[in-house]
Structure 1
Amino acid sequence: MPLPEIPPVTEKLLAAKKAKGLSFADLEKILGRDEVWIAAVFYRQSSASVEEAKKIVAALELDDSVIEELTAYPVKGLGPVVPTDPLIYRFYEIMQVYGLPIKEVIHEKFGDGIMSAIDFTLDVEKEEDPKGDRIKVIMNGKFLPYKKW
């Protein structure tokens, strides 16, 4: 199955970013927000404040009509299907293989609960290695214990 349809505003933002020769890391310097969060705004997985949207629009030299779309409530998720994009699928596969071990280690260290995806940050770093560069993904979420009643 293909990936979900990309919103028209995403296509417009990505085209403008490419035309300006900017990376998400460049936009991070302009906005003062993390590059992954900015990419999430582009893909409508997060929403920007009016001030943040204005900075994006100015950096990409887009018209102000984009501001309303960037500040609208986002639609989260990829849908109910197994992802087919190889890179996205690898994250799914990681959870298939290591999900239960990760869960068990988290429970041992923190108790019964979950990692927040709301009080959360995600960073992607490049780690140079003579055997082939490495991708370092750092997920940092607040522990939320299940409450008893």
Structure 2
Amino acid sequence: MNEAKAKAAEEIRAAKQREGLSWAEIAEAIGKPKEWTVSALLGQHPVPEAAAVKVGELLGLSDESVQALQRQPYRTGLGDAANDPTIYRFIEAINVYGPAIKELIHEEFGDGIMSAINFKLDVSRRPDPSGDRVVVTLDGKFLDYNW
């Protein structure tokens, strides 16, 4: 991620806390899903101008951050974020279950991949007597290999 987007993400986190807003409230204000909104505001998607301006007004962001939100990001590695326990558990889950997921995709759909571009994400809570469960749904379009 470039420096301007990283700086904007930090400004957004601080403003979100200062204003006492949830990610869901910010997403609702711009009419986008909460999962996309968080990813975009942390620098992983370009934010349309009207939405960037609305976020800027809502959070009192600098003009530089509003402009940075609108830029196309460089989607590079996780860097230090890979060491965060929550992110690391996703890496661990893919390390353990990735080959099985690949086999099941190929068996069900044929030779191809799941898109991470034509993609939906949902994060929700499911009550459970032994402790609430985190439910993460990765919903990507199947893209077949065409030879």
CA distance in 2 between counterparts of 1:14 and 1:80 reads 19
- 8 Å contact from structure 1 (residues 119, 141) kept in 2: yes
Give the drift of 1:79: 4.1
Q: 1:70-112: CA deviations, max 9, x gaps?
A: 0011121434789211110111111111111111111111100
Go from structure 1 to structure 2 and tell me whether the alpha carbon gap of 1:113 and 1:102 turns closer, same or farther (over 3 Å shift). Answer: same
Residue 88, structure 1, aligned to residue 66, structure 2: no
Q: Equivalents in 2 of 1:18, 1:50: separation in Å?
A: 23
Q: How big is the shift at 1:63?
A: 3.7
User: Are the equivalent residues in 2 in contact too, given 1:127–1:134 (CA < 8 A)?
Assistant: yes
Residues 34-43 or 44-53, more deviating: 34-43
Cross-structure match for 1:123: 122
Q: 2:102 is matched by which residue type in structure 1? A: K
TM-score normalised over the length of structure 1: 0.89
Q: How does 1:1-149 map to 2 (within 5 A)?
A: 7-79=6-78, 83-148=82-147
Pick the structure with more helix per residue. 2
Moved more, 71-80 or 115-124: 71-80
Instruction: Answer with 76-85 or 14-23: which moved more.
Output: 76-85
Give the gaps of 5 or more residues in structure 1: none
Backbone CA RMSD of aligned residues: 1.9
Amino-acid identity (%): 41
Q: Is the 8 A contact 1:45 1:77 kept in 2?
A: no
